[in-house]
Amino acid sequence: NAGVTQTPKFRVLKTGQSMTLLCAQDMNHEYMYWYRQDPGMGLRLIHYSVGEGTTAKGEVPDGYNVSRLKKQNFLLGLESAAPSQTSVYFCASSMTSGPYTQYFGPGTRLTVL
Amino acid sequence: EDQVTQSPEALRLQEGESSSLNCSYTVSGLRGLFWYRQDPGKGPEFLFTLYSAGEEKEKERLKATLTKKESFLHITAPKPEDSATYLCAVQASNTGKLIFGQGTTLQVKP
């Protein structure tokens, strides 16, 4: 049981390049989330999904897109990367009913030059 | 506005020196309060969930308590391996979203 996995672990992009971060979970969770973590800002929700085929905006969605084509996978895309998107990105998943605990992946460290 | 504030930002302890971390919150209907541990370069690791005032949970040297306005994470006789950043988060019953605090970075010296 791997829990929540993320690929890649590290990535360096140039301004304007695009990329996709992949999150996978094997806990059969309905809900999945993407966060970013920046020094002094804490964890902030980018987008989330309450089920296959559905997505919704979180606190800081601008510049990102997401897709949930399969229940176990949640993709985060950057169409045109900007230096302000340099951050550590975490994916999480949870059940639909109590205790609603979110379980996190190991993170992806992204640097945009 | 839902908000979570953790204090102190950083805490240095000697091995065996007990202390507490504070998490103050304001939320429109609390569904749950969560404590996570985060080691450098890793994702947050779930520790506890508390649901109502008066509830307590323990795990090894850690004990979490909850009141209507704050939660404490008590660390008894800490060891160097307890060094990490401890994150507190609240889940509002109306939105279901987690609101995180900034975290408290704990360093335990041998």
At B43-96, the pLDDT tens digits run 999 999 999 999 999 999 999 999 999 999 999 999 999 999 999 999 988 777
Q: In the 8-state DSSP scheme, what is residue A1?
A: -
Determine the pLDDT at residue B94.
78
Question: In this complex, is the C-beta atom of B24 within 8 Å of any C-beta atom belonging to chain A?
Answer: no
Q: How far is B59 from chain A (nearest CA, A)?
A: 17
CB B71 within 8 Å of CB B65: yes
> Considering CB atoms only, which of A42, A105, A106 is closest to B103?
A42
Instruction: State the burial class of residue A96 (Cβ atoms within 10 Å of its Cβ: 0-12, 13-18, 19+).
Output: exposed
Question: In this complex, is the C-beta atom of A90 within 8 Å of any C-beta atom belonging to chain B?
Answer: yes
pLDDT at A112 over 70: yes
Question: In this complex, is the C-beta atom of A74 within 8 Å of any C-beta atom belonging to chain B?
Answer: no
For residues A2 and A82, give the distance between their C-alpha atoms in angstroms, rounded to a whole number: 32
For residues A86 and A63, give the distance between their C-alpha atoms in angstroms, rounded to a whole number: 12
Determine the pLDDT at residue A99.
66
User: Position A13: which residue type?
Assistant: L
Chain B residues whose CB is inside 8 A of the A29 CB are: none
Please name every residue paired with B65 in a beta bridge, in sequence order, or none if there are none: B56, B72
Q: In the 8-state DSSP scheme, what is residue A9?
A: S
Give Dmax over CA atoms of chain B in angstroms: 45
pLDDT at A34 over 70: yes
Determine the pLDDT at residue A97.
63
CB A94 within 8 Å of CB A108: no
pLDDT at B26 over 80: yes
Question: In this complex, is the C-beta atom of B40 within 8 Å of any C-beta atom belonging to chain A?
Answer: no
Q: Name which residue leads in pLDDT, A2 or B58.
A: B58
For residues A79 and A18, give the distance between their C-alpha atoms in angstroms, rounded to a whole number: 5
Question: In this complex, is the C-beta atom of A64 within 8 Å of any C-beta atom belonging to chain B?
Answer: no
Say yes or no for a CB contact (<8 Å) between A43 and B87: yes
Question: In this complex, is the C-beta atom of A60 within 8 Å of any C-beta atom belonging to chain B?
Answer: no
For residues A34 and A45, give the distance between their C-alpha atoms in angstroms, rounded to a whole number: 6
- Three-class SS of residue A84? helix
pLDDT level of residue B2 (50, 70, 90 thresholds): confident
Instruction: State the burial class of residue A84 (Cβ atoms within 10 Å of its Cβ: 0-12, 13-18, 19+).
Output: exposed
pLDDT at A1 over 80: no
Chain A residues whose CB is inside 8 A of the B89 CB are: 43
